[in-house]
Structure 1
Amino acid sequence: MSALKWGQGKGKGVAGPALFSLPLSFDHFVLPRVLRRPVRILARLGEGEFQAPRFSAAIMSAVLIASSGAYGAYLGGHADGIVQSITARTGFAVDQVKVVGNRQTSEIDILDRLELDGWTSLIGFDAEAARERIATLPWIEVAAVRKVYPHTLEVRVEERQAFALWQQGSDLSVIEKDGAVIAPFSGGKQVLLPLLIGAGAPAKAPEFLAKIEKYPDLATRIRGYVRVGDRRWDLKLDNGITVKLPEDGEDQALAELVGMDHDKGLLSRDIAAVDMRLSDRLVVQLTPEAVTQREAALNEKPKALKRKPETKI
């Protein structure tokens, strides 16, 4: 109790408490509970009564060296590498990656953005930085990277929606509905997308293609939508016919075109173009072969009339 309550037993001949042979005597002073044990140990150490555990010096030296090394690694920017190395070799190395949601983006491109090596630790892996790298891929709209301990990474992506192909000169790109370019055309199922040609085509295409969808038979035959002067559309059909639509009144022109094809098979004839730019007339341009055949038929008609025998009365 003498170490806890100083100042008690102040009679003559009674020595007060001391620390390292220095008298510590204060009337009626009690140490806080948290300091009592450390003060006892220090008092015993000063009187030579306390003996340190075996190997304590070696342990303290090792702790000092380790802490110095850790501090040096921190100052030198190598702390992350040390953590990666230690944790990877204790069972936390990434050895499995699950990729979900990719259709146009290859898994190889996603794995490349993860920047993994044979000893990447899941503990020290920066998932947010990896997510940002994956988000830079052309088709990726949203990406998420999740750690699944002890050794798995899960990558979930949402890709941008392709609307059409857009041709400008010799460049062919896949675009979204708002006209934003996603990536260069790479083949595959992308060939099934509508083909837009010319400047200004992406901005006007969503509204115009919605009109075309009202006529499925015509839509299946269109191979290209050409924007002319950013004012009107030409339709390129699968049999080579070009339909020149007017600048105004597209809906009426499309309805008339489909009606004439249904009644008279207009778009199945040997013609090169159907010009509907004038509101009061429709002009049909024949193919060179059809022109030659027509001229031959016209030249043959007078000869046939000359050869016709006269009728006697």
Structure 2
Amino acid sequence: MRRISDTDIVVTADDRPGTGRTQAPARARTKPKPRAKRRTWWPRLWLSPLQRLAGAGVIATALLVGGAVLWRSGMVHRVARDAGAALLAVSADAGLRVAEITVEGRRRTPTEQIIVALATRHGDPILGVDIAVAKARLENLPSVRAAAIERRLPGALHLSIVERQPVALWQNGGRFMLVDREGHRIPGAIEGFEDLPLVVGEGAPQRADELFAMLATEPALAARVKAATRVGNRRWNLRLDDVERGLEARLPETDPEAAWRRLAGLERDRGLSSKQITMIDLRVPERLIMRSDPQQAAGRAASAEHGRED
């Protein structure tokens, strides 16, 4: 510091605070060197979402194609079949074999048909019996309406069958066959069922169910129906009391139920069967056409009298 005058003082650089002391030079700060990146031998792949989706599709397609090839080759079937056969053999060795077969409800169905339909022999693995397939084969038999199969372990099969019940005799081409309410033909002998109503004509068995439902509305008169002929597969002609000489009633194609009730009312009120009437035509609701034959009526009366004596 130097004085210029009494009032002016000039401060020089040497007069700054601390210039008289020895100071250690400030330590310079240096930035740390960046760590060198580790290089790998494989390239880094950057895939877009579309490329990833395409890759997944390629993998899925390859799996599907491979599975299809295996399936078409039959390898899957063979492996499954061999594994199933091995399991059945193990179960049979453990005692799960068919040792007894019982049948409930059989009346007319031949035993041989049941055995063939069941397709199972004594000693076969009981777990190998396909219940659904055997049931379907049993119900395909002409005389069987329904069937059930029960496995009773360790070695019994129990069959319950419901046979078709004959409700009429169907005459076709000079031959007679039993039919059930649904019109199914029941093979076998007709002995013991000769007194069933006789149905004749094309389509008669298939329409027997509706015929018997109609007849049941008038039970007293229905008991006297001995034959029903299907005419042109359109309508019915009925025979009362006797197949050949009985009273013939011709029902219409349309609304035969009303004509049947009308016939029952006429029989109750007028007793047509006791007269010489042999045919009554009910096909026209407003009209009533009757035909008489004294000889046929006499034969019918004699037949009825013979039936009462028996």
- Contact 1:164–1:176 (8 Å) recurs in 2: yes
Give the structure 2 partner of residue 257 of structure 1. 263
Consecutive unaligned residues of structure 2, counting only runs of 5 or more, are 1-78, 300-310
SS of residue in 1 equivalent to 2:126: coil
Give the structure 2 partner of residue 268 of structure 1. 274
C-alpha root-mean-square deviation of aligned residues, in Å?
4.3
Task: Please tell me whether residue 166 in structure 1 is matched to residue 170 in structure 2.
Answer: yes
Q: Distance in 2 between matches of 1:187 and 1:291?
A: 31
Give the structure 2 partner of residue 155 of structure 1. 159
Normalising by structure 1, what TM-score? 0.52
Give, in angstroms, the shift of residue 113 of structure 1: 2.8
The C-alpha deviation readout for 1:29-48, integer Å capped at 9, x for no partner, is: xxxxxxxxxxxxxxxxxxxx
Consecutive unaligned residues of structure 1, counting only runs of 5 or more, are 1-73, 293-313
Normalising by structure 2, what TM-score? 0.53
Task: Please tell me whether residue 209 in structure 1 is matched to residue 216 in structure 2.
Answer: no
Q: Distance in 2 between matches of 1:290 and 1:141?
A: 42
Assess, with a 3 A threshold, how the Cα gap between structure 1 residues 201 and 145 changes in structure 2: closer, same or farther.
closer
Give the structure 1 partner of residue 189 of structure 2. 186
- Contact 1:244–1:277 (8 Å) recurs in 2: no
2:246 pairs, out of 241, 244, 247, with 241
2:295 pairs, out of 263, 285, 288, with 288
SS of residue in 2 equivalent to 1:137: coil
Assess, with a 3 A threshold, how the Cα gap between structure 1 residues 80 and 203 changes in structure 2: closer, same or farther.
closer
Task: Please tell me whether residue 111 in structure 1 is matched to residue 115 in structure 2.
Answer: yes
Amino acid at match of 2:267: D
SS of residue in 2 equivalent to 1:97: strand
Give the structure 1 partner of residue 235 of structure 2. 232
2:126 pairs, out of 122, 130, 136, with 122
Assess, with a 3 A threshold, how the Cα gap between structure 1 residues 151 and 243 changes in structure 2: closer, same or farther.
same
| Identity, % of aligned positions | 29
Assess, with a 3 A threshold, how the Cα gap between structure 1 residues 269 and 184 changes in structure 2: closer, same or farther.
farther
- Contact 2:237–2:249 (8 Å) recurs in 1: yes
Give the structure 1 partner of residue 141 of structure 2. 137
The C-alpha deviation readout for 1:167-222, integer Å capped at 9, x for no partner, is: 3333544445554x343363256556543211233455444433322322211110
Larger Rg: 2
Q: Distance in 1 between matches of 2:246 and 2:233?
A: 21
Equivalenced residue count is: 218
Amino acid at match of 1:288: Q
Give, in angstroms, the shift of residue 110 of structure 1: 1.9
Q: Distance in 2 between matches of 1:149 and 1:194?
A: 46
- Contact 1:234–1:242 (8 Å) recurs in 2: no
Assess, with a 3 A threshold, how the Cα gap between structure 1 residues 232 and 83 changes in structure 2: closer, same or farther.
closer
